[in-house]
Amino acid sequence: MTKISLTVNGSRYEREVEENRTLLRFLREDLGLTGTKEGCGAGECGACTVFLDGLTVNSCMVLAVEADGRKVETIEGEARDGKLSPIQEAFRDNHAVQCGFCTSGMIMSTRELLQRNPKPSVEEIKEGIEGNFCRCTGYQQIVEAVLDASGQLKEKGELRHA
């Protein structure tokens, strides 16, 4: 076991972890933050996407010990004071959530995309979420949600029917 100390959604945690424990399992099972989902467990689906020091990672591919001394952000930190974030509202309003299994990871990837490119094109959105698989929506509503979150949906209303 190794002692680690890290910040998750602004709160400090110190825990003993097994060296082979993934950050995903640590978040879900040790901290009870089950909003981050486990899909493939192999770095392929993006369901487990979280921020690590400001960049998105697949938390199934990162060891908890690698997060020692670092800053992690998960879907649980997205809403503030009981209020959904603009990205969460956009996903809700554009019916971009069906089973919801991909949604936490999608929202993390959307946030990362909009931080580096506040007005992405449809192509750039598709590239930005290409590491996140959704089995339900066919992606169109998700693309619309990202456009909405970036303030572009009204300007591009015709895309609703593309």
Contact 33, 8 (CB under 8 A): yes
Provide the minimum distance between the beta carbon of 152 and ligand FES in the complex, in angstroms, as a whole number: 22
Selected range binding ligand FES among 13-21, 78-86, 117-125, 129-137, rule: CB under 6 A: 129-137
Q: Does 75 bind ligand FES (CB under 6 A)?
A: no
Q: Does 92 bind ligand FES (CB under 6 A)?
A: no
**In sequence order, what are the beta bridge partners of 3?**
16
Q: Does 101 bind ligand FES (CB under 6 A)?
A: yes
How many other β-carbons are positioned within 10 Å of the β-carbon of residue 11?
9
Q: Give the β-pairing of 2-8 and 49-52.
A: unpaired
Among 97, 108, 146, 153, binds ligand FES (CB under 6 A): 97
Among 92, 116, 119, 135, binds ligand FES (CB under 6 A): 135
Phi, psi at 26, each rounded to 5° = -60, -50
Rounded (to 5) percent helix, strand, coil in the chain: 40, 20, 45
Give the residues lining the site for ligand FES (CB under 6 A).
Answer: 38-41, 43-48, 58, 60, 97-102, 134-137
